[in-house]
A = this chain, B = another copy of it.
Amino acid sequence: MISDNIMDIGQGQQQEDFFEGTEKLLELWFESTRPGCKSLRLIPRFELDEICKLAECEIISEMHNESCDSYVLSESSLFVSDNRLILKTCGTTVPLNALDKIMICAKKYANQTELTNVFYSRKNFLRPSMQPEVHSSIDDECMHLDKYVKNGTAYCLGGLRDDRWYLYTCNPPRAYLSKADHTLEIIMQDLDREVMDTFTMEQSVDGYHATKLSGIDKLVPSNTKIDSKLFEPCGYSMNGLIGDTDEYVTIHVTPEPEYSYVSFETNQSQLCLFSQLVKVIATFRPNRFLLTVCADDGSDKGRLAQKDMMKAMLPGFKRVDFQMVITSEHAVMYARYERDQYIKEICK
């Protein structure tokens, strides 16, 4: 089987010169209808700190609305709502090592014992050999997830030897009603230098400033409450909570030119997802990116976005890969784009 290591690039580079922007994204959905179930938001902060510690990162900022708690982490983000927990971490963090503790806390504080759905996903790492053992291959990650998930299944979207995206999920029992959720994720690489410079201490004073300067504040629905952080000497994270819903936006920027990486993720339902995509690409100006749209059967917005994106052209870009997976409960669309060489040359 194609090993992750085949794509291990830049091994000659010194480790200290490199940061793996690629996030591991763990999204857990718990049963919410059984009598006695309580909100996951009852898990106290010290336990969330412990969960993050096990994943090898820490909470550096928090923000709340009526439906969701948002935490900016030293490496990416954590969102907790009544029956959904999202842990997204980059670098060499180990989110799967936090699973035991998450399950224990869900039971102890929310009387939640049953996962109704699980999504674990990531792009292929740039430097898989630098990852800790649990995350050293999708194979290992699957085996770890199998301890918590019944009928887990995994897909590789994209070519086995190109940039690609792995998804582990499960086929939930039919008893659970279909949700109407959707998620748009855009993973960008090789980004415009000028845009990336915005996310350095040289150009921006703090997260708030970088958010304005880069235009991120205009990118998200207008009623988004933003918690952003600029890192020293560079790097940026933001969580946004939309109105008082559990809809969120989260953006993470690794601006170093050698391995520039930006991720954008949202489950917002205010903007059409295709126009959201266009805004994101116009703001960050990547030379290549991949995008995924996951849509539950009940999500008209998500399904519509998939249809739009299947047909749509993005001026200046060539779609080099397109894939779709349809399971009994949801549909996942994957596409990879590269800027036309010509345009890439002019832009230099």
Contacts and interface: CB of A to CB of B under 8 A. Distances in A.
Interface of A: 1-4, 6, 137-139, 142, 152-156, 159-162, 318-328
A257 B322 CA distance: 38
A327 B320 CA distance: 6
A49 B321 CA distance: 39
16 contacts: A1-B2, A1-B4, A1-B137, A1-B138, A1-B160, A3-B139, A6-B139, A138-B160, A142-B161, A153-B160, A154-B159, A320-B327, A321-B327, A322-B326, A323-B323, A323-B326
Of the candidates A3, A152, A162, A323, the one having the most CB atoms from chain B within 10 angstroms of its own CB is A323
Contacts of A154: 2, 159-161
A324 to B, nearest CB: 4
Nearest to A332: B323
A191 to B, nearest CB: 24
B326 A325 contact: no
A320 B324 contact: no
Contacts of A321: 325-327
Contact of A1 (B139, B152, B159, B328): B139
Given A3-B139, A142-B2, A160-B156, A323 B322 contact: no
A142 B160 CA distance: 10
Given A153-B159, A156-B156, A325 B323 contact: yes
Contacts of A325: 321-323
Contacts of A2: 1, 138-139, 142, 154
A320 B325 CA distance: 11
Contacts of A142: 2, 160-161
| Best-buried of A3, A160, A162, A324 by chain B (most CB within 10 Å) | A160
Which residue among A6, A138, A319, A324 has the maximum number of chain B CB atoms within 10 Å of its CB? A324
Nearest to A152: B161
Contacts of A326: 319, 321-323
Nearest to A333: B324
Contacts of A159: 153-155
By CB atoms of chain B within 10 A, which of A139, A161, A328 has the most?
A161
A182 to B, nearest CB: 18
Given A1-B1, A142-B161, A153-B162, 19 more contacts: A1-B3, A1-B4, A1-B160, A2-B142, A2-B154, A3-B139, A6-B139, A138-B160, A154-B159, A154-B160, A154-B161, A155-B156, A156-B160, A318-B328, A320-B327, A320-B328, A321-B325, A322-B325, A323-B326
Contacts of A160: 1, 138, 142, 153-156
A340 to B, nearest CB: 13
Contacts of A322: 324-327
A165 to B, nearest CB: 12
A323 B320 contact: no
Q: State the 5 A-B residue pairs at the shortest beta-carbon distance, nearest first.
A: A322-B326, A153-B159, A1-B1, A154-B160, A324-B324
